[in-house]
Each structure stands twice: as C-alpha cells, then as structure tokens.
Amino acid sequence: MVSMKDIAAACGVSVATVSKALNNHSDIGAETRKRVRNAAKELGYHPNLSARALKTNKSYNLGVLYKEESGSGLTHDYFSQVLENFKNTAEHEGYDITFLSNSKSRKDRMSYLEHTIYRGMDGVMIAIADYKDPEVSELLRSDLPVVIVDYVFNGRISILSNNILGMEMLLSYIYEQGHRDIAYIYGEESMVTTNRVSAYCKFLEEKRIAVRDEFLQKGRYRDPYTAGVITAKLLAMRNPPSCIVYADDFSAIGGMNVIKNKGLQIPKDISIAGFDGIMMASQLEPKLTTYRQDTVGIGRLAAEKLISLIENPRATPISHYVMDGELIKGGSVAEIKRISG
C-alpha cells in the first residue's frame, strides 16, 4: 500500500509537506501542491480514513436532517439547491455527507442524536424538520455542532433566506404596476410563513390598503392542486383580486392552469407572482414574476459555518445570517393605469 512517505520520497519533500499539500493547506505553494497530488495519483495513493479519524479525532462526516412532509423529497427545488451547494462546499473541504434517518420501519431504529453518535458524525445541518418533534429538540439541545436553515433556535447558528425582504420587493413591484387588490395564498404554518404573511399585512397597512381576509388564503407549499382550487375561489368573488401572489413558483403553476382553463389570459385578465425563483418559472409563458432566493449562498454558508464550528468552535460566533435574494420581473404582472392612488 502506497504511503505518504512514498510520495515524499518521489517528490523530494518531507512527509509533512505531502500531508499539507493533500489537505490543501494555504502555506504550501501551488506548484508543490500540484506536484504532490500528481505523484499521489500516479502512485495510486488512497488516504486511510480510519487513520485520519484517529489522528484528528474527527470522522469528516456531516449529517443532514431533511424531513420533508409534502412528498416531494429531494426534488423540492429550493431545498435541493441548498443541499447541492452544501454538499459541494463540504466535499471541497474534505467532508462526506450522510442523511439522518429515524424511520419507524427500520428494525434498528435510532433517534436522530443516536444516529449521529452511531455514525460518528462531526456535526449536522438541519435543512427541514418538524421542530415540535422531541427527537429534533434532543438533537438541538445536544453538544453536537449544528447549523439550521430557515429556522431560529436559541444557541444555534441559523442561515435564513430574507423572506420579509422577498415579500416587500414583490409587493412593491406589484404596487408600482398599479395593483391594489392583491391576494396572497400562503403555505403551512412555519417561521417562513409567519414572516411572509406579516410582511404582506405590514406592506398593505403602510400603503393604507385594507387587509381583506378573503384575499389572505391558507394553502400548501408545492401543492398546485390546492393553489388551483383557491385560485378558482378568488376568481369567483364579486370583487376579485387583480393580482394573486402564491406561496411558491410550483403552486403558481397550479393557479396558472386554472386561470387558463377558464379562458382568461395572464396578465391581461389577472396578474400572478410566485416565490423561490426556480428554473421552471423562467420557462413558463408568460415568464413568472417571482423572488429568487439565494440557494447557492445559503447552502455554501451553512457548510462553511458548520465546518468552522467543528474545526474552530471557540472562534465561531453563534449568529443568525440572513441571505438576500433578487426580484425577477417576468411578464405575469400587468401594468394598471391609475389616475391617482
């Protein structure tokens, strides 16, 4: 079996230099790093992970808790992008990813915390979970390094999408286009939903527009059918909205289908807007007006902060990081000419 000593002899450097080059240390020059890595590849060197773990007291394995209830699994556009960028960043730093499971169907069922201990995980990123679940609380209250996406828990690092800014940007644009009768179909109860609904109500109140209860409708995230049913209900009102904002782009597609099936045109007869900025939204006709969340930044920062907690806990502050996105002005919101107001 090829060792680092063999690589050092082939390159005429010390074993310490080989180790630093293979682990991408900044004090090793690019030319030396390239020479060492090429030699390692040519000699067929493979690092011994068990020996590495014994030496560093780390497994270089990160857990991911992703308990998604809508049935979309890893096809969920927003979280799949967050996870992809988390994975890419972690792997670049030499870490592997393992999904946590506490499936009741398994004979060897363990809690989330028991699973992390059993697998020797160095830390966990919680992408989505039921925070009322005692096993999630157990994990959050443990001594294990944890970073959370889109949720705030005291004493833990949180990486948050700026949902309040997103709603404000969407509504400001819709308002500037002349709309005053704006409906919002929101998703299930969560901190994300609470922030978005609050931003919706606050915006209307600041513009001195009455918040109409019938325009604020509870739906479900990533549920085109429910969104379609509610859309039909809104359209059937004596004084329907001129614009409907959906909980996410996927739900907006359900509303769009109902609108078209009724022989109406978007945005001529009714305007719509989504949230998330998924790739599919840009392929629709008309292109969907939406707010694109920074999934690249969220995933990358979650990995960076979790690894920092593991490798340098004393110098890693426990903070909440809010990531801004961007408004995508599609063709789904019409301009309404107004005399005043």
Residue 18 lies in a domain: yes
Q: Tell whether 103 and 246 lie within a shared domain.
A: no
Q: What is the pLDDT of residue 106?
A: 56
Domain boundary among 268, 292, 316: 292
Q: How far apart are CA 16 and CA 308, in angstroms?
A: 23
| CATH code where residue 67 lies | 3.40.50.2300
Q: How far apart are CA 223 and CA 215, in angstroms?
A: 18
Q: Tell whether 207 and 280 lie within a shared domain.
A: yes
Residue 236 lies in a domain: yes
Residue 332 lies in a domain: no
Q: Tell whether 167 and 206 lie within a shared domain.
A: yes
Q: What is the pLDDT of residue 88?
A: 94
Q: What is the pLDDT of residue 53?
A: 53
Q: What is the pLDDT of residue 257?
A: 95
Residue 340 lies in a domain: no
Q: Tell whether 313 and 201 lie within a shared domain.
A: no
Q: What is the pLDDT of residue 23?
A: 76
Which structural domain range is residue 41 located in?
4-47
Q: What is the pLDDT of residue 339?
A: 62
Q: Tell whether 152 and 261 lie within a shared domain.
A: no
Q: Tell whether 200 and 155 lie within a shared domain.
A: no
Q: Tell whether 193 and 268 lie within a shared domain.
A: yes
Q: What is the pLDDT of residue 74?
A: 65
Q: Where are the alpha helices (DSSP H) in the chain?
A: 4-11, 15-22, 30-43, 49-56, 77-92, 112-118, 134-140, 163-176, 191-206, 224-235, 249-261, 295-311
**Residues for the chain: how many in total?**
341
Q: Tell whether 124 and 87 lie within a shared domain.
A: yes
Q: What pTM was computed for the model?
A: 0.81
Residue 190 lies in a domain: yes
| CATH code where residue 40 lies | 1.10.260.40
CA distances from 264 to 157, 203, 229, 258, 259 (A): 46, 28, 16, 9, 6
Q: What is the pLDDT of residue 2?
A: 79
Tokens (6 digits) for 93? 């730093």
Q: Tell whether 140 and 101 lie within a shared domain.
A: yes
Residue 330 lies in a domain: no
Tokens (6 digits) for 310? 């593991």
| pLDDT tens, per residue, the chain with 341 residues | 778 888 999 999 998 888 888 877 778 888 998 999 999 889 888 766 555 554 556 788 999 999 866 555 566 788 889 999 999 999 988 899 999 876 655 556 788 999 898 888 999 999 989 999 999 999 999 999 999 999 999 999 999 999 999 999 999 999 999 999 999 999 999 999 999 999 999 999 999 999 999 999 999 999 999 999 999 999 999 999 999 999 999 999 999 999 999 999 999 999 999 999 888 888 888 999 999 999 999 999 999 999 999 999 999 999 999 999 999 999 999 999 866 54
Place of tokens 């995508």: 328
Q: What is the pLDDT of residue 58?
A: 76
- What's the domain count of the chain? 3
Q: Tell whether 181 and 240 lie within a shared domain.
A: yes
Q: What is the pLDDT of residue 71?
A: 56
Residue 79 lies in a domain: yes
Q: Tell whether 15 and 71 lie within a shared domain.
A: no
Q: Tell whether 71 and 147 lie within a shared domain.
A: yes
Contact 245, 183 (CB under 8 A): yes
